[in-house]
Structure 1
Amino acid sequence: MGKTVFQSFSFYFLRITAMVVPINFANSGKFSERILGKILGKAFGFILIVNLLFTNGVTSRQYADLVVGAFLPRTPMFAVISALVLVCAFAVRGGLEVVGRAAQLLIPLYVFSLILIIVLLLPEYNPKNYKGSPYWGEPQIIFRIVPCTTWN
């Protein structure tokens, strides 16, 4: 999910102006007030906050659609979004170290489960079932199967 055009514009506008005009405010709203004036700065800050809230809402909804549609079909979407927001709030509150420690814990678990799945599926693998089509050839079959296995 990329940034919207407005977010990109506002980020670069505020940062480039900060290089030209020395301002010692940490808040984007105060920053834009100082650059654009009181009224335009407040309007710019309000639009920026509304845009960020809307973008975060859309992203949360897309994530919840993925989780509910692919993994937890009987779970209410409100519960999935609430859990996502709660975990993100704890991560932001804890800082970068919490995210790093969580990755340190979860990546070996993920790798172990991936290896376990591959090992358990090895007896079911039969190379005779993998036959290339004379029209497509073996590599083309792989390239045609991969988009079918991705989640839309």
Structure 2
Amino acid sequence: MSLPLVVNGTQRRHLGDANEPLLWVLRDKLGLVSTKYGCGIGACGACTVHVDGEAQRACSVPVGSLRGKRVTTLEGLAWAGPGLHPVQQAWTELNVPQCGYCQAGQMMSAAALLRRHPRPSDAQVDEAMRGNLCRCGTYARIRAAVHRAAQILEGA
């Protein structure tokens, strides 16, 4: 089967099973390795990407369900033009990652949150990030980075 996909703004074709998880297409076929395999059941958040701007777990999304939708990975998160997305900039400024394995998913969830709530409360951050697990326990730095990204978005 030939399935058209738009990934990070580029038209692609998936030649294979429509039931294949998006995660494997991104990593194994398109070479976009920021999206990590964590649990395989959508519970840990390491594979979080955006589908039409909303955070989704790539391990649980069959590629065949994406016809006409836009997929964005961490590699495509940066603004159109040079430089980092405010979330990426905040993560770097605050030195958020420890081991770093979960951080792409964390950043994708944070970016989706900030699109909906440009000035989120701590409760909104906690709710949005709840499904993203960090084995290193960098949750306080993650929350601080989400708030810093909001400041960057406001121009502060």
What's the TM-score once normalised by structure 2's chain length? 0.21
Between Structure 1 and Structure 2, the one with more strand by share is 2
Pick 1 or 2: higher relative contact order, CA cutoff 8 A, min separation 6. 2
TM-score (norm 1): 0.21
Give the number of the structure whose residues are more often helix, by fraction: 1
